[in-house]
């Protein structure tokens, strides 16, 4: 199944606010939004630039998608939800692309099976780039007009920008999955100079009093519908680790028999360990010199102080039990994030999680921009949530079963795409994203 957080249709529950005080304000908002739109579109091309045509076609697993498909799918979104309904003289680039690049929208017609996206040698990458240019030209023509519903177009474009940003992260994680399956272990990005051999900062705990807290997005700015509606929730007193679990701590878990001790695992998790042969996080390899890890910089020695990543919910839960702690609930995580001075998550120059250091100040560190963090919370609707009617109702509601919520953002998350209320979600066995964990415990 396509990960639904990455393929979202426009919906009336998106929270997008725009000033409408006068025509000049409208124009400024439109210009700013247009600039963000084409910056986002260009960033996708920049991410694909290091890749060969062959790299962009292949699919590493049923969960992953080819780069070419990502580039085309986000373009299909703008064509189908912005241009076709709102630009009367728009000419569809290729009618057959609706079958090739629809993701999971049943009401929008049949589609190519996700596990076979890597078989789409045609259209070529060159034709996909031409498709993107055609749609971008259509968007420019639309935005140059003054006879459209500015509120509605602005809302749709904001959704499209955020949708494409989600696929930018997926593009990178899918390339890592592809390169990790290649015996040449190619690097997407140049390797860093030298190995970080520093040890992690000591783990400390921050206590929170809990109580009746406000959860979910409110006020101005964009949010996905699964962050709504804002509501009150009861949170008991708890404490949260001030940093993420590190590779060194995970090595201790391995060496203490964490992967061979069934009492640490949920039943489904233990079944996955035995069925899949898990002995370490995804992309770890045992070599003569110790453990190495495949990364976007190629195969590198495991850096002890860096956050552990590419782990399933089952592994995170087992580690927490081994450590005598637990995973935080998503509400606890949001309380901690709201109590922490705002951390601006910018795309790092090196696309890999970085260790915590004293410069990050007191309190909870590494909330954003390193790894997504598993929570103990099942992915469920907030009280009062109602999916919108029609095709857009496929956006979130039908996926709210069998998955777990992740909070934060990762080193591959685009700048500006993080907030305390953001709810990512994956199935408990999935590991190919930049996913780690942070420990929680009761206040004694």
**In which domain, by residue range, is 144 found?**
4-180
> What is the C-alpha R_g of the chain?
22
Q: Model confidence at 320, in pLDDT bands (50, 70, 90)?
A: very high
Range with the poorest average pLDDT among 14-28, 115-129, 246-260: 14-28
Q: Which of 126, 146, 180 is the last residue of a domain?
A: 180
**Domain for residue 337, yes or no?**
yes
Tell me whether residue 434 is in a domain.
Answer: yes
- Between 214 and 389, name the one with better pLDDT: 214
Q: Does any domain span residue 270? A: yes
Among 120, 145, 180, residue at a domain's last position: 180
Residues 323, 258: contact at Cβ < 8 Å?
Answer: no
Q: What is the pLDDT of residues 119-160, one digit of tens each?
A: 999 999 999 999 999 999 999 999 998 887 888 899 899 999
- Exposure string (b/e) for 389-400, b if CB count within 10 Å is 16 or more? eebbbbbbbebb
- One domain, residues 176 and 219: no
Q: Are residues 53 and 111 in the same domain?
A: yes
**Number of residues written out for the chain:** 444
pLDDT in tens, 47-100: 999 999 999 999 999 999 999 999 999 999 999 999 999 999 999 999 999 999
Residues 175 and 246 in one domain: no
Q: pLDDT digit string (tens) for 270-287?
A: 999 999 999 999 999 998
190: in domain: no
| Cα-to-chain-centroid distance, residue 319 | 22
Tell me: do 128 and 250 sit in the same domain: no
* pLDDT for residue 389: 61
On whether both 333 and 251 belong to a single domain, the answer is yes
**171 shares a domain with 223:** no
Structural domains counted in the chain = 2
pTM for this predicted structure: 0.93
- Give the per-residue pLDDT at 392: 62
Please tell me the predicted confidence (pLDDT) of residue 394: 66
> Per the domain annotation, does 47 fall within a domain?
yes
Q: Is 147 found in the same domain as 64?
A: yes
Q: CATH number of the domain at 388, please.
A: 3.90.1580.10
**CATH code: domain of residue 118:** 1.20.120
Average pLDDT of the chain is: 90
Q: Are residues 131 and 253 in the same domain?
A: no
- pLDDT, tens digit, for every residue of 357-375? 766 667 899 999 999 999 9
At residue 312's C-alpha, the angle toward residues 247 and 252, to 5°, is 30
8 Å CB contact between 385 and 366: no
The answer to whether residue 193 sits within a structural domain is no
Residues 297 and 409 in one domain: yes
Does residue 234 have a pLDDT over 70?
A: yes
Please write the tens of the pLDDT for every residue from 153-197: 998 999 999 999 999 999 999 999 999 999 999 999 987 766 677
pLDDT at 251: 98
Q: pLDDT tier at 348 (50, 70, 90 boundaries)?
A: low
384 and 266 in a common domain: yes
**100 falls within a domain:** yes
pLDDT band for position 399 (50/70/90)? Answer: confident
Q: Is the same domain home to 379 and 241?
A: yes
Q: Could you read off the pLDDT of 412-437 as tens digits, one per residue?
A: 999 999 999 999 999 999 999 999 99
Mean pLDDT of 343-368: 76
168 with 265, same domain: the answer is no
Res 12 pLDDT > 80: no
Give the per-residue pLDDT at 255.
98
Within a domain: 22: yes
């Amino acid at each position: 199944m396509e990960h639904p957080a990455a393929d979202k249709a426009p919906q009336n529950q998106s929270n997008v606010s725009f000033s409408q005080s006068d025509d000049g304000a409208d124009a400024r908002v439109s210009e700013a939004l247009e600039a963000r739109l084409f910056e986002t579109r260009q960033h996708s091309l920049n991410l694909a630039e290091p890749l060969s045509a062959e790299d962009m076609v292949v699919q590493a697993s049923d969960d992953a998608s080819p780069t070419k498909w990502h580039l085309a799918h986000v373009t299909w979104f703008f064509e189908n939800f912005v241009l076709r309904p709102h630009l009367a003289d728009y000419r569809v680039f290729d009618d057959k692309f609706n079958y090739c690049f629809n993701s999971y929208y049943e009401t929008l017609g049949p589609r190519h099976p996700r596990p076979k996206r890597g078989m789409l040698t045609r259209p070529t990458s060159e034709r996909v780039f031409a498709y993107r240019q055609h749609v971008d030209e259509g968007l420019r023509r639309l935005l140059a007009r003054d006879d459209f519903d500015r509120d509605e177009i602005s809302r749709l474009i904001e959704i499209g920008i955020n949708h494409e940003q989600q696929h930018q992260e997926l593009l990178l994680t899918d390339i890592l999955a592809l390169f990790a399956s290649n015996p040449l272990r190619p690097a997407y990005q140049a390797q860093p100079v030298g190995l970080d051999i520093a040890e992690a900062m000591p783990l400390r705990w921050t206590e929170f009093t809990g109580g009746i807290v406000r959860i979910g997005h409110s006020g101005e700015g964009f949010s996905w519908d699964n962050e709504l509606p804002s509501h009150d929730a009861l949170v008991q007193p708890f404490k949260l680790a001030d940093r993420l679990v590190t590779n060194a701590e995970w090595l201790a878990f391995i060496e203490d028999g964490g992967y061979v001790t069934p009492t640490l695992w949920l039943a489904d998790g233990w079944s996955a360990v035995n069925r899949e042969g898990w002995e370490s996080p995804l992309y770890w390899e045992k070599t003569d010199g110790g453990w190495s890890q495949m990364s976007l910089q190629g195969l590198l020695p495991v850096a002890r102080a860096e956050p552990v990543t590419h782990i399933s919910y089952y592994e995170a839960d087992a580690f927490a039990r081994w450590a005598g702690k637990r995973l935080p609930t998503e509400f606890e995580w949001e309380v901690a994030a709201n109590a922490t001075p705002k951390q601006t998550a910018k795309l790092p120059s090196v696309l890999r999680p970085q260790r915590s250091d004293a410069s990050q100040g007191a309190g909870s560190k590494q909330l954003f921009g390193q790894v997504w963090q598993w929570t103990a919370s099942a992915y469920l609707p907030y009280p009062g949530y109602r999916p919108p009617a029609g095709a857009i109702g496929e956006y979130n509601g039908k996926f709210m079963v069998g998955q777990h919520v992740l909070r934060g953002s990762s080193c591959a998350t685009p700048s500006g795409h993080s907030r305390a209320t953001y709810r990512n979600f994956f199935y408990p066995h999935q590991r190919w994203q930049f996913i780690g964990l942070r420990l929680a415990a009761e206040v004694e």
